[in-house]
Amino acid sequence: MAQGPSQLLADDRKADGSSGEQQRPDTQLVQAAVKRAKQGDMEGLHFLYVSYAADVQRFVNSFVHDQHEAEDITQNVFAKLMTAIGKYEQRDVPFTAWILRVARNAALDHMRARRAIPTEEVRVADTGQAQIGQERGHDLRHALELLPDDQREVLVLRHIVGLSPTEIAETLDKTESSIHGLHHRGRRALKASLSHLGAAPVIGPAVAG
């Protein structure tokens, strides 16, 4: 579920992966499922779908900003996985990074097809808190639009998809130290933008560093 400004700017220790990690599928189980899926085994494909569909859909939605379109694209990604998975090699990149690259390409292809301009902003979930929640969501989306593409993408992968810095580095083909730098600069710039927009009261206490 998408996070609001206060959650997105939470304690650095959680944001940088030292705590609060999302539970990931067991690597050996994933490898076994991939092997079976490559052989055309439907149970292997089903395991990969159950393990990764939610992450893929959240990631795709950060591009297309439409839940129904994100669901359709996610279904298409996994519908084509039977043939696409033949291109995947474990030694090149972990499956998590690979499937998100596939999803990213599918989302961008979809947007090109409808002649949309990719902004890669984050849609903030409607919490039902009426005007205040809507205003905060608008402020967050606007602040994210102002970030450089690489910083925004790192924040999306970290706080919306829930990947660790190591997984983000593998997904974006960058070093882990560069991911930490992008994440730190992105959060700092996001906080400054929210303050400028008058959203400072919803931001958690400042963290040193």
Say which CATH class 5-202 falls into.
mainly alpha
Give the contacts of 89 (CB within 8 A, at least 6 positions apart): none
For range 33-42, the mean pLDDT: 90
Is the pLDDT confidence value at 201 over 90? no
**Residues 187 and 9: beta-carbon distance below 8 Å:** yes
Give the contacts of 122 (CB within 8 A, at least 6 positions apart): 2, 62, 140, 141, 144, 155, 156, 159, 160
Give me the pLDDT at residue 158, please.
82
Give me the pLDDT at residue 121, please.
43
Band of pLDDT at residue 22, cut at 50, 70 and 90? very low
Q: What is the pLDDT of residues 162-175, one digit of tens each?
A: 778 888 888 888 89
Question: Which of 35, 37, 54 has the alpha carbon at shortest distance from 103?
Answer: 54
Question: Which of 155, 129, 130 has the alpha carbon at shortest distance from 8?
Answer: 155
Is the pLDDT confidence value at 53 over 90? yes
Question: Which of 29, 110, 23, 22 has the alpha carbon at shortest distance from 65?
Answer: 110
For range 94-117, the mean pLDDT: 80
Q: What is the pLDDT of residues 54-74, one digit of tens each?
A: 999 988 888 888 889 999 999
Give me the pLDDT at residue 15, please.
41
DSSP 118: P
Q: What is the pLDDT of residues 125-182, one digit of tens each?
A: 444 444 545 556 667 777 777 888 888 888 878 876 777 888 888 888 889 999 999 9
DSSP for 120-181? ---PPP--S-HHHHHHHHHHHHHHHHTS-HHHHHHHIIIIII---HHHHHHHHT--HHHHHH
Interatomic CA distance for residues 135 and 72, integer angstroms: 28
Model-wide pTM > 0.85: no
